[in-house]
Amino acid sequence: GESVGLHLPTLSVQEGDNSIINCAYSNSASDYFIWYKQESGKGPQFIIDIRSNMDKRQGQRVTVLLNKTVKHLSLQIAATQPGDSAVYFCAETTNDMRFGAGTRLTVKP
Amino acid sequence: DTEVTQTPKHLVMGMTNKKSLKCEQHMGHRAMYWYKQKAKKPPELMFVYSYEKLSINESVPSRFSPECPNSSLLNLHLHALQPEDSALYLCASSQASRNGELFFGEGSRLTVL
């Protein structure tokens, strides 16, 4: 079965609001996680990563939170913009970068 | 150069044809990957090459045959495909297997008639 997965297949937010995309994983030995963004017709693009020795990592407008106790990570996007509309995947490298199911984020103007 | 280049972008082939997908990177990465992606699904890992050696084959049918001629090139040879093999084929590379982000190409959109 899949080692990573996402809670919701779709998420719709208003432009300017914050977005939160969740991901659950099952392998407690997972030590490195990456969030990817895939726009229509393109390959996945790296957004942000986090190692298991961290709880939180911040980038530009994005934050990843890792809760190892419940094997959950989330991607927070601040002030969501129309250009953020895409499918977001979490992936973990214990099993050579396998992807979860993905969440489609739609930003309403 | 932080690009992974895939050719062709689009390919239509019949079930009896033989064709190849090509992937190239010049970032000095030593791990290269083939993924298959169907519509509205996540990428599915097919093959991993590490230091030009096949390290993972995810039980992919033999009608898909990968080849890594050198550290910059990765090919996927296609023969006797089925219509259900129609998908986006993504190539990726990373500095090493199981370590670091993957850099993806734009994919090759394959249609099997």
Q: Which of B33, B48, B101 sits opposite A46 (nearest CB)?
A: B101
Model pLDDT, residue A96: 67
Condensed to tens digits (0 to 9), the pLDDT of residues A23-74 reads 988 888 888 999 999 999 899 999 999 999 999 999 999 999 999 999 999 9
Cβ of A44 and B104 within 8 Å? yes
Cβ of A43 and B99 within 8 Å? no
Model pLDDT, residue A105: 96
Using 70 as the pLDDT threshold, list the residues of chain B that sit under it. Answer: 1-2, 98-99
Across the A:B interface, residue pairs with CB atoms under 8 Å apart total 50
Model pLDDT, residue B89: 98
User: Hey, what amino acid is at A61?
Assistant: R
Euclidean distance between CA atoms B73 and B95, whole angstroms:
14
Local structure of B111: helix, strand or coil: strand
Euclidean distance between CA atoms A44 and A91, whole angstroms:
11
Model pLDDT, residue A2: 43
